Structure 1
């Protein structure tokens, strides 16, 4: 991780606006939970409000703005929580990518990972069946164990330890990796990350050095995206009150600051004569 602390994006707006003036297109990769919307206590409650959907639809209708939502959630879940037009959905940390045309990319090794994820999901569900404070969210090619509802430190520690042990027991071929995030344990495939989403979307969109690429996220899984767009892109971590090491150059405090930035983006484009 970089030893340089990120600066607030709003303090660099003059520089960012200058870069936008020179850019041919604005490409925005963004996480969903904790980035576009505040993290909900339960994952199924993280539904986008009408204001956010209208904002993103308006941005996506601009031919010089491309939006890619890159999330650990499954694509079908993302489309239910935040149904949009003309955006690229990258689910399961980019293992599955759906383009506005309906074309779908799926990582070829997903067929090896998916049955293992299903097995671990069954094991975790059985282990935590009597623990109401633990929520297990199964996607297509990854899992999340949420413990946001737990308040007892020992319970939290036991939950994290048990999750790691169950994954270790089931994953005999070492296909998965485990990350601890903000009150969540993420279980995902090795060999694939959000940096690969930048590659896949980049080829499809024919991103060049004339485009200005943003990658915005709040979690440790977004760090691969931050790295991928360096040194020419704009990497932004959404802190949500959490201080941690990051390779991101800029930060925003919460999803509301991001929304403010996105609301003003069309005005900057018009004024910049892009």
Structure 2
């Protein structure tokens, strides 16, 4: 049974570090993280979300002691270019496009079939929203993000209506919700949670010696938190507009960095224990 609670009801991962680590039970945590809102603060425009040197170093150090994957709604190539570390795994487009060390490259989930529908939807949305000031239609390989963070409140309904009209005409696509964003995605049963479990299997981490730990901030990360209930650990950063299936929380990107640095030390002790 899936448990969901208000974000403020769940304990802080930093305040309850010993309790959290007790759940490892001698297993090494494999780390999965969202990019925006976890590794960098949410910003007005996606291209402004730049990783700090301190955060990059924390990720690099962590990846020397365990498997680390960035699981993002961004295009895989885009998030890899932002992180700039070749010892990490990258799952872009909510896990439809995955690469990693040793030449790993896969597109699980079967999204290729929806590419022509995404092309058509992109053209339609650009046309419908051309007059809506502040709106941004961002085409990714396997999704279209319609940003309304900079749209006047009385125009948000116009944006939603345009998205609904396009979706009504295209059964190959479905909506995904995020922070000030509507996303059009392939209408396929695949999401961040399934991508995490695919990676656990693919990397040979499902044999009992690893435990998955997922850090995310958005409604799209809830799929991963739900998937991990009972078999891993979910940590919500900040809060979003809904209840969460995560078990712990962190307040900010700074707290994420502190937590990752501590994890590196903990895993070194597990590995040498």
Normalising by structure 1, we get a TM-score of: 0.90
What is the deviation of 1:77?
A: 0.7
2:93 is aligned with 1:96: no
Aligned to 1:209: 208
| Secondary structure of 1:209 counterpart | coil
| Residue of 12, 15, 22 corresponding to 1:11 | 15
Aligned to 2:251: 253
The answer (yes or no) to whether the contact 2:145–2:181 under 8 Å persists in 1 is: yes
What is the deviation of 1:239?
A: 1.9
| Secondary structure of 2:42 counterpart | coil
Aligned to 1:176: 173
Aligned to 1:236: 235
Taking the aligned partners of 2:216 and 2:119, their CA distance within structure 1 comes to 27
CA-based RMSD of the aligned residues comes to: 1.8
Deviations 1:218-265 (A, max 9, x none): 11111111122220311111125x452111111112222111111222
Aligned to 1:167: 167
Taking the aligned partners of 2:62 and 2:86, their CA distance within structure 1 comes to 10
What is the deviation of 1:85?
A: 1.9
Mean Cα deviation higher: 87-96 or 1-10: 1-10
The answer (yes or no) to whether the contact 1:68–1:89 under 8 Å persists in 2 is: yes
The answer (yes or no) to whether the contact 1:60–1:85 under 8 Å persists in 2 is: no
Taking the aligned partners of 2:267 and 2:95, their CA distance within structure 1 comes to 29
Aligned to 1:265: 263
Taking the aligned partners of 1:103 and 1:266, their CA distance within structure 2 comes to 24
The answer (yes or no) to whether the contact 2:109–2:190 under 8 Å persists in 1 is: no
Taking the aligned partners of 1:184 and 1:243, their CA distance within structure 2 comes to 12
Deviations 1:114-146 (A, max 9, x none): 111111111111122233411111111111111
Deviations 1:14-54 (A, max 9, x none): 1122334611x220111111111111110111121222212
The answer (yes or no) to whether the contact 1:145–1:185 under 8 Å persists in 2 is: yes
Aligned to 1:145: 146
Taking the aligned partners of 2:228 and 2:193, their CA distance within structure 1 comes to 8
What is the deviation of 1:268?
A: 2.4
For structure 1, list consecutive stretches of 5 or more residues without a partner in the other structure: none
What is the deviation of 1:180?
A: 2.5
Taking the aligned partners of 1:11 and 1:225, their CA distance within structure 2 comes to 23
The answer (yes or no) to whether the contact 2:3–2:245 under 8 Å persists in 1 is: yes
Taking the aligned partners of 2:251 and 2:157, their CA distance within structure 1 comes to 27
What is the deviation of 1:108?
A: 6.0
What is the deviation of 1:2?
A: 2.7
Q: How many residues align?
A: 266
The answer (yes or no) to whether the contact 2:219–2:242 under 8 Å persists in 1 is: no
For structure 2, list consecutive stretches of 5 or more residues without a partner in the other structure: none
